[in-house]
Amino acid sequence: MRQSTDNSLTAGGVSPSVRSLRHLVAGQWREGDGDELVDVNPARPRETVAVGRLAQDHDLDRAVAAARDAFPRWAATPHHVRGAILDRAAGILDAHAGQWGEELSWEEGKTRPEGIGEVRRAAEILRYYAGEASRPVGEVFASPRPGEQIQVIHRPVGVVAVVTPFNFPVAIPAWKIAPALGYGNTVVWKPASVVPLLAVRLAEALVEAGLPEGVLSLLIGDGILGGRLVEHPGVDAVTFTGSTSAGRGLIAACGRLARPVQAEMGGKNAAVVLADADLGLAAGEVLAGAFRSSGQKCTATSRLVVAEPVADEFLALLTKRATALRVGDPLAEGTEMGPVISLQARDGIQQAVDAAAARPGTDVLTGGRPYDDDRMTGAFLPPTVIELTGEDPLWREELFGPVLAVRRAADASEALALADDGDFGLSAAVFTDDLRAVTAAVERLDVGILHINSETAGADPHVPFGGAKQSGYGPKEQGRAARDFFTRTKTVYLRGSGGRER
């Protein structure tokens, strides 16, 4: 059943009509009866995007009960049938990419091209997992005993709790929900409550594609409801993306319950520019990694190590390009960077920048000060590049905003050591054509994702995604790696009876 809303768009972007929010519970779209939820535009916080009411504990109980009831039937549904539903949902996302992408920009703050691109990326992810139906579903091993075959098959785990963040309100849910459903699990999903509209859109696409009742429930709730979902006795596994602090609490809770958990957490990703790098290429990639999506990516470039012989030249080039970025309304033509998610986030990031700028030896190369024009009423921050002379909290703490901390290194060895220094290990980038430096980076950098001559951000759906150290816990996401979390193996020893004795 489709949600009834006013979906009209104007030439200048999304119309001012306010959308209504509903929950998908046990196959039915329902109004919430909890506290009021007002979804606002971070570029103009007085502008309302959507309104609704939060889900309650009774909604959670009903959703989990429906998921448990639907699981045996969904798991028994042929994989190709499940895949066909994902494929149809991908087509719906593609058909609505322009409209829903603009809504994403309105709600979350990405530029219009980024919003549309994210909706299309979600469709790509659904299609990848639709294709899993035609890939091998297990393995056959030789047996040391005559007349026997050993099979290893994959079976769904059951009811999966999905908890997702604000920064990719369609793509991250898609890369969790698509494999969960494709491999035969049922899902209860709690998105970030600051981006509820795009969650409704993804659920709408799946329902319209023919997803049976109870297989997916969407609950728009607060963090307390998310905690109750994670610990609900009817849940079999939990997949989460969010902050490291929240992730640690979730991991501890699942540990007490002996419940499988997959957690993708924070990042403080470094780009390393060595003396032989193509500086023009490196500047463009570092700029994109640091400031695209307003730096609100777990894979964003938030640290830069530059070799001393090229530091002055490179930083002058990078600073010039960063200063020229067009920051403003994400739905306006030509905007290159929109706001961060909220005024609260803006103020917290600015406080961290102010504290760093006040410390001796710190040099703010560009940005660093709040806007004093009409952008001051929105959640806007300027692209900021700050050079540090030594240890600083800005080098270690994740800000999740458009702030790039810079340090210089005497040589490649020191540069890689600085890049690897920290608690996080999600992504890194190294700019060089020196094969020895590339080999050293592969061996030395303890990260889940390493880019050579490209930005730290980016995640293709057919390869594993996830981090090392405090950036990730449990099996990786995406690609065939997702099967390690969303299925359990069953080892079958298969031997013929040899016939009945007469």
Q: What is the DSSP letter of 18?
A: P
* Contact between residue 220 and residue 37 where contact means Cβ atoms under 8 Å apart: yes
Sign of CA dihedral 331, 335, 341, 342: negative
Predicted confidence pLDDT, tens digits, the chain (502 residues):
333 333 333 334 444 589 999 999 999 999 989 999 999 999 999 999 999 999 999 999 999 999 999 999 999 999 999 999 999 999 999 999 999 999 999 999 999 999 999 999 999 999 999 999 999 889 999 999 999 999 999 999 999 999 999 999 999 999 999 999 999 999 999 999 999 999 999 999 999 999 999 999 999 999 999 999 999 999 999 999 999 999 999 999 999 999 999 999 999 999 999 999 999 999 999 999 999 999 999 999 999 999 999 999 999 999 999 999 999 999 999 999 999 999 999 999 999 999 999 999 999 999 999 999 999 999 999 999 999 998 899 999 999 999 999 999 999 999 999 999 999 999 999 999 999 999 999 999 999 999 999 999 988 999 999 999 999 999 999 999 999 999 999 999 999 886 555 4
Nearest in space to 331 (alpha carbons), one of 7, 107, 46: 107
SS3 state at 469: strand
Cα distances (Å, whole numbers) of residue 205 to 23, 83, 186, 308, 442? 14, 14, 16, 52, 40
Q: Are 171 and 121 in contact (CB under 8 A)?
A: yes
d(CA 114, CA 110): 6
Q: Are 352 and 393 in contact (CB under 8 A)?
A: yes
**Which CA distances in Å does 329 have to 373, 374, 380?**
13, 11, 9
Considering the candidates 118, 264, 336, 477, report the single residue annotated as catalytic. Answer: 264
| Residue 5 · residue 44 · CB < 8 Å | no
**Among the listed residues 62, 245, 240, the one whose alpha carbon sits nearest the alpha carbon of residue 161:** 240
Phi-psi sector, 109: left (phi>0), alpha (psi -120 to 50), beta: left
Long-range contacts of 247-252 (CB under 8 A, 24+ apart): 247/473, 250/163, 251/473
pLDDT digits (tens, 9 = 90+) for 456-467: 998 899 999 999
Q: What are phi and psi of 306, to 5 degrees?
A: -125, 135
DSSP, res 155: E
Q: What is the pLDDT of residue 16?
A: 58
The rounded Cα 232 to chain-centroid distance in angstroms is 24
* Distance in angstroms (rounded) separating the CA atoms of residues 43 and 105: 10
> H-helix or E-strand containing 154?
strand 148-156
DSSP state of 293: G
CA distance 398 to 400: 6
Rounded to 5 degrees, φ, ψ at 355 are -65, -40
**What is the H or E stretch that residue 414 is in?**
helix 412-420
From 392, 404, 395, 398, select the one nearest 368 (Cα to Cα): 404
Residue type, 364: V
Rg (CA), the chain: 24
pLDDT of residue 17: 86
Cβ neighbours for 443, distance < 8 A, ≥ 6 positions apart: none
Exposed, middle or buried by CB within 10 Å (0-12, 13-18, 19+), for 502? exposed
Residues 102, 114, 298, 336: which is the catalytic one? 298
Residue 37, H or E segment: strand 36-41
C-beta atoms surrounding 354 within 10 Å: 13
Residue type, 420: D
DSSP at 23 = E
- To the query of whether residue 254 is one of the catalytic residues in this protein, the response is no
What are the C-alpha distances in Å from 71 to residues 26, 206, 230, 417, 450? 12, 17, 18, 48, 38
CB 197 within 8 A of CB 323: no
Query: In angstroms, what CA-CA distances link 372 with 347, 377, 381, 395, 430?
Result: 14, 9, 11, 27, 36
> Dihedral sign, CA of 344, 103, 465, 304?
negative
How buried is 203 (Cβ within 10 angstroms: 0-12 exposed, 13-18 middle, 19+ buried)? buried
Supply the pLDDT for residue 9.
Answer: 37
Q: For the whole model, what pTM was predicted? A: 0.94
Q: What pLDDT does 408 receive? A: 98
Q: What is the rounded distance in angstroms from the CA atom of residue 118 to the CA atom of residue 93?
A: 10
